[in-house]
Amino acid sequence: MNYAKKTVRDVDVTGKKVLLRCDFNVPQDKETGAITSDKRIVAALPTIRYLLEHGAAVIACSHLGKPKNGPDPKLSLEPVAVRLSELLGQPVLFAHDVVGEDAKAKAAALQPGQILLLENTRFEPGETKDDPALSKALASLADLYVSDAFGAVHRAHASTAGVADYLPAVSGFLIQKELEVLGGAISDPKRPLVAILGGSKVSSKIGVINNLLEIADTIIIGGGMAYTFSAAQGGKVGESLLESDWIDYSREMIAKAAAKGVKLLLPVDTVCADAFAPDAKSQVVKAGEIPDGWQGLDIGPETVALYCAAVADAGTVIWNGPLGVFEFPAFAKGTQAVAEALSKTSAITIIGGGDSAAAVEQLGYADKMTHISTGGGASLEFLEGKELPGVACLLDA
Ligand code: ADP
Ligand code: MG
């Protein structure tokens, strides 16, 4: 996949109507609908400001949540328009439909320097079906398509990819940075490239493990998936998270790493608990020697030392998946120690995955990393080496 794509800086936006796909899929309070984090809106500001300052009329659009059967007032983007207006310090017009009469009229009347937000794109049944009729209707509102919704580029939907069949398409600054950093790390990494893979399940990371085995120099395994690897080596894992169906696969991965000369590091000790609970009783045991009734919830201190040493002289570190149940402070030590080690290396450090980003933020290391990907699912598919429809549809640089 080609990661070199044209950006808003490579085209003339002055006097143009720009359809800007954002990721305004913000978390909301279940009861009140209030926006609980405006991070994604803030992240879109640089591209929006650039376009407005360069004399474009911006028609922003996004999906929000998963409306089932058409419009659902609970999932209206109107509160996002209000917050966006506060952050931008200028009015944000709102269309009460996506490509209906209101959107058409307001888009037609929009002047350079003004911004309009369309209603939730998933209120249109054609959105998730990548229906050309919807793509065409969206395209007819504008002269240029700019995508800045990295969190949605793994989806081939009308507003994330289909619309690019009918308009010139370039990236905004968010996608540009993701492509530069993630794309660079995958296609031409500063070596040694160390991949840290954790999280809960092997099964959700098979694509990532497989692809990174092709390009990394070292692979570090932690988190719940480590116990399936341990079982593959004949270890006793007690009540730890174990995916019996993936033991053979894990064994194959160990063999593949050896054949390719990739260093594969597995935990040598583990912090196990007598229950899955924040205040569970815990003890440190050797990997593969977890007693019955106990479950591994974090990597142990010897493993921490081993893993911190392995990242110390890395050129690039890609991290996906927490190394323990970081949501419980007693079992966050492994994740925290490795985050600390990353904050001290001169390596390019890249965090992909929703929970991994949350862990690094919660533990206070967010501003110490080179890049924290803004797309959970999208960054995983990126690391899997898959073609992302929302990136592939953009003009090559
Ligand atoms: P990401 O969203 O970054 O891709 P995952 O969704 O794969 O990461 O995994 C995150 C989850 O893995 C966290 O909720 C964490 O509690 C869990 N986890 C990590 N280690 C363990 C473990 N030893 N046992 C059970 N769950 C674990
Ligand atoms: Mg996750």
Q: Which CATH superfamily is domain 181-383 in?
A: Phosphoglycerate kinase, N-terminal domain (3.40.50.1260)
Ligand closest to CA 355:
1
Mutate to test the pocket of ligand 1, among 325, 328, 361 (most ligand atoms within 8 A of CB): 325
Per-residue pLDDT averaged across 229-252, rounded? Answer: 97
Give the residue, by CA position, lying nearest to ligand 1 atom 22: 224
pLDDT of 215 higher than 90: yes
Question: Ligand 1 centroid vs 152 CA: distance in angstroms?
Answer: 22
Q: What is the pLDDT of residue 338?
A: 97
- Identify the active-site residue in 5, 16, 40, 122: 40
The pLDDT value recorded for residue 345 is 96
Which ligand has an atom closest to residue 379 CA?
1
Cross-sheet strand order for the sheet of 269-273? 282-286, 269-273, 295-299
CATH topology of 8-174 equal to that of 181-383?
Answer: yes
**Which atom of ligand 1 approaches the CA of 328 most closely?**
16
- pLDDT value for 1: 79
What's the pLDDT tens digit per position in 35-73?
999 999 999 999 999 999 999 999 999 999 999 989 999
Q: Whose CA is nearest to atom 15 of ligand 1?
A: 325
pLDDT band at 127 (very low <50, low <70, confident <90, very high): very high
Indicate whether 375 pLDDT > 90: no
Where are the domains positioned within the chain? 8-174, 181-383
Which pLDDT score, from 0 to 100, does residue 2 have? 87
User: Residues 201, 263, 286, 386: which is the catalytic one?
Assistant: 201
| pLDDT higher than 90, residue 6 | yes
Q: What phi and psi values does residue 94 have, to the nearest 5 degrees?
A: -130, 130
- Does residue 9 have an active-site annotation? no
375 in ligand 1 pocket by Cβ < 6 Å? no
Residue 75 has pLDDT above 90, yes or no: yes
Pocket test for ligand 1, best of 355, 360, 379 (most atoms within 8 A of CB): 355
pTM beyond 0.85: yes
| Residue from 288, 377, 318 nearest 197 by CA | 318
Is 238 an active-site residue? no
Alpha-carbon Rg of the chain, whole angstroms?
A: 23
The angle subtended at Cα 347 by Cα 258 and Cα 228, nearest 5°, is 35
Sheet containing 169-171: give its strands across: 93-94, 115-117, 57-61, 17-21, 144-147, 169-171
Q: What whole-number distance in Å separates Cα of residue 197 and Cα of residue 359?
A: 14
| pLDDT tens digits, one per residue of 132-178 | 999 999 999 999 999 999 999 999 999 999 999 999 999 999 999 99
Separation between Cα atoms, residue 88 and residue 45, nearest integer Å: 7
Residue keyed to tokens 């009229």: 105
Q: Which CATH superfamily is domain 8-174 in?
A: Phosphoglycerate kinase, N-terminal domain (3.40.50.1260)
Q: Minimal CA–CA distance to 44: which of 135, 122, 144, 115? A: 115
In the prediction, which pLDDT does 374 show? 84
**What is the 327 CA–ligand 2 centroid distance (Å)?**
12
> Ligand 1: distance of its center to the CA of 201 in Å?
7
pLDDT at 35: 96
